[in-house]
Each structure stands twice: as structure tokens, then as C-alpha cells.
């Protein structure tokens, strides 16, 4: 078993003067980082192709690899509609524009971040 493993490792080290091994190693590091970040599975596929050259003149060995990175799942965010139907990250209670009616009684206007659910639905 050791001889086969050394054969594969030796092939990767010698193919294109080590450039193939460097590229595959870089792809593996990127894959590990992506899997760690996304907490989802990914894969790295290495394909070795071998074909004869001429009539017994040697073998052409190609090594290709591809990484399937985990898909990023975009998160969601809460936005609020403005009077002009745009989206804003700020609540109505914190918007500088007028909505035509106050969300809270005048006595509570000094404290704009506080209002009850009942006041919010008016």
C-alpha cells in the first residue's frame, strides 16, 4: 500500500515540476476555508488521465482538478417601507420624515425610541 501512495504523491510532486501539486494544495486550502466559513460540505475532485503517445513511445499523463465549494446562503435582513415606498433599515420611529400622523402621543415625543405596540398600530 505504501508504494502506491508514494507513486501517487511522487506523480503529483513531479507533474509539471510540482506546479500541479501546488495548484491542488491551494484549491484544498480554499475548500477547507469555505467549508469552515459556510458550515456546509464541499468536495475536491482530482482526475488523472493516461494515454499512449505514438507506438510505445511513452505515456501522456494529465491531471485535472476541480473544487465544488459550498454554496453561500445569503442571510436576510429587516427593512421598513418609507412613505415613497423605498426600503430603509431605520424604523418609522427613527425616520426624520413625516408620515402624516404621529406614531405616539405628543407627550411621548421627547422619547422617540419608546412606544407601545398599541401606539405603533394607530
pLDDT digits (tens, 9 = 90+) for 57-73: 899 999 999 999 999 88
Q: What is the DSSP string of 21-44?
A: HHHHHHHHHHHHHHHHHHTS--EE
pLDDT value of residue 92: 65
pLDDT value of residue 98: 52
Q: Which residues of 1-29 are buried (b: 16+ CB within 10 A; e: fewer)?
A: eeeeeeeeeeebeebeeeebbeebeebee
The verdict on pTM exceeding 0.85 is: no
Residue 12, pLDDT above cutoff 70: yes
pLDDT (mean) for 74-81: 88
Amino acid at each position: 500500500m505504501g508504494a502506491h501512495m508514494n507513486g501517487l504523491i511522487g506523480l503529483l510532486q513531479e507533474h509539471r515540476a510540482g506546479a500541479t501539486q501546488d495548484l491542488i494544495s491551494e484549491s484544498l486550502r480554499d475548500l477547507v476555508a469555505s467549508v469552515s466559513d459556510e458550515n456546509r460540505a464541499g468536495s475536491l475532485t482530482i482526475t488523472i488521465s493516461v494515454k499512449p503517445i505514438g507506438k510505445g513511445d511513452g505515456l501522456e499523463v494529465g491531471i485535472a482538478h476541480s473544487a465544488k465549494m459550498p454554496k453561500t446562503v445569503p442571510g436576510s435582513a429587516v427593512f421598513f417601507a418609507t412613505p415613497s415606498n423605498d426600503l430603509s433599515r431605520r424604523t418609522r420611529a427613527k425616520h426624520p420624515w413625516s408620515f402624516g400622523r404621529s406614531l405616539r402621543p405628543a407627550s411621548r415625543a421627547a422619547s422617540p425610541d419608546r412606544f407601545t405596540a398599541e401606539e405603533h398600530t394607530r
